[in-house]
Structure 1
């Protein structure tokens, strides 16, 4: 009887050791995968996909940190190697100045979104369709975003090229959206700098003003970039991200879910749960 008890206790002890050892190995393997830092600026689609990738990579055993800043510091951080990934590069025109400045110090990868748009946007109730008609509005301000954004530089160029008597107001994406929302509710005239993809187009009836001089250029694609040697340090992550592709529907749903939950992380988690068929394709 005593011998049977001893055998039973030895078996239980062996099981405990095996479980503890397995857990220890799993934790060590997880820690061994390292920390990845994603640099993002305050654009809705940038926040959305950065949180999406944070969750997806953490599921694969990586530790992921998000570092929020304006666009120019993101490029500088990637070039210096202080950041690992930046998910949003608009080319061939919008981010061309930054790309030309830093292209030898970073690595540009696959396009994950095709067919963007950007320009001056007004509510559909406004009786104006072209940038050339802006001086007929009776207002003299364009509400912009953060001063370091390439779009702001293009807008300054646009004001000069069209000879507009307008002031470009520097603010941020949330501040710009606040001004648009307020004016829209009161049916007042307002002109903002905006881009697609953006959740605003699903919330409001908006329109781009025609740009005959094509200051904002034609449609572009969105790429992601990494620091030098990132692919060498994290080959499987780069492989996964090069398979990443989203369209208006998938990206729009992701941004809308985040907007409804009022939490980038929770919204991204919910969207991932509902779109495993899509995200699983990136890891095949």
Structure 2
């Protein structure tokens, strides 16, 4: 899936738009990072194609979600369009504290990433969505590879999220099994849902899955920054991460030199905004309908030309 999406991004170079009036400050390429989930590639491709329309040269560079901050600090990478409050806040704060990376503001999307289960699992575990009930029903979520422990299907390990730490801190009878890719995660959900098989897994929004499948997010103890950083805070006085994941904005960040070298591009990136509903619809077109990323982005740009042109004026 990731290779197909990246190939689709490259194919966008064949599209043409009426050039914007802005004059690029440098012809050096602006390097925008792409990751391994559809929405991030769509977001990045929209921004990249808008910058191209303004006359900038753009390179799409595949990078690890958390490890990319090393490249952003040195200027080997320039812009990351999706840093989720839910999983990337610590890495973002550490990077911006160095002064080498800057926060360019919110994308307009609000992030939720948490454990999720299909509604049919409430028949065998009626205390859901409370996490204590989930733990009491751990055997109902077990598989041959994890029995007698329940199986939690996490996202790819590169996504972070502290699921292993949470299981240990809350004393949960679950084993974390990581999906290899974003596509594999949702393929397994589809298979389980069709068979009404037991499953609890990482789900996120903005995405099409919470709309397509009936279910609920697990309710863990409420997140706080102290819960993540101070073991004495929370229900387990000896461990951090004994709470749910944070929720909040999806951010844009950049190497500090972007504003100096390409100030017009930096202004456009700061102006970028899209909402959850529009992004969810675009992700669905790619993942469910099989529409290439370049076509989805082109359709969005055609329908929202006044919006994106305002970013580059």
**TM superposition score category, shorter chain reference:** 0.7 to 0.9
The number of equivalent residue pairs is 254
SS in structure 2 opposite 1:225? strand
Matches of 1:254 and 1:80, distance apart in 2: 33
**In the alignment, what sits opposite 1:278?**
307
1:63 CA displacement: 2.2
Residue 218 of structure 1: CA displacement?
A: 4.2
* Per-residue CA distance 1:191-248 (angstroms, 9 max, x = gap): 1112111121233223211113532344211111111211011111111111112212
| 8 Å contact kept, 2:219–2:244 | no
Tell whether the 8 Å contact from 2:26 to 2:261 is kept in structure 1 after alignment: no
Q: Secondary structure at the match of 1:180?
A: helix
1:237 is aligned, of 258, 265, 273, to 265
- 1:114/1:54 Cα in 2 relative to 1: closer, same or farther (>3 Å)? closer
Residue 129 of structure 2 contacts residue 217 of structure 2 at CA under 8 Å; is this kept in 1? yes
SS of residue paired to 2:173: coil
Whole-angstrom CA distance in 1 between matches of 2:111 and 2:26: 38
**Shift of residue 261, structure 1, vs aligned partner:** 3.9
Question: TM-score with structure 1 length normalisation?
Answer: 0.81
Q: Aligned residue for 1:161?
A: 169
Identify the match of residue 78 of structure 2 among 81, 84, 107: 84
Say yes or no: does 1:109 pair with 2:119: no
| Corresponding residue SS for 1:148 | helix
**Cα contact 2:26–2:262 (8 A) shared by 1:** no
Whether the aligned pair in 2 keeps the contact of 1:258 and 1:266 (CA below 8 Å) is: no
1:42 corresponds to: 36
Partner of 2:199: 190
Report the CA distance shift for 1:278/1:257 in structure 2 as closer, same or farther (over 3 A): farther
**Residue 149 (structure 1) aligns with:** 159
Q: Structure 2: which 5+ runs fail to align?
A: 1-22, 123-127, 143-149, 224-242
Q: For residues 275 and 203 of structure 2, what CA distance do their matches in structure 1 show?
A: 18
Q: 1:278 to 1:203 in 2, by over 3 A?
A: farther
What stretches of structure 1 of length at least 5 have no aligned partner? 1-28
CA contact (8 A) 2:83 2:89 kept: no
Equivalent residue, structure 2, for 1:227 = 255
Residues 128-187 of structure 1: per-residue CA shift (max 9 Å, x gap): 312222231242111112213222x2x122212321111111222111111111111111
Bigger Rg, which one = 1
Deviating more after overlay: 214-223 vs 228-237: 214-223
Give the 3-state SS of the residue equivalent to 1:188 in structure 2.
coil
Structure 2: distance between partners of 1:257 and 1:272: 15
Deviations 1:57-100 (A, max 9, x none): 22222222211232122222211211110011223x53233124
* Superposition pairs of residues 57-76 of structure 1, within 5 angstroms: 57-76=51-70
The answer on whether the counterparts of 1:124 and 1:207 sit within 8 Å (CA) in structure 2 is yes
In 2: Cα distance, 1:266 partner to 1:34 partner: 26
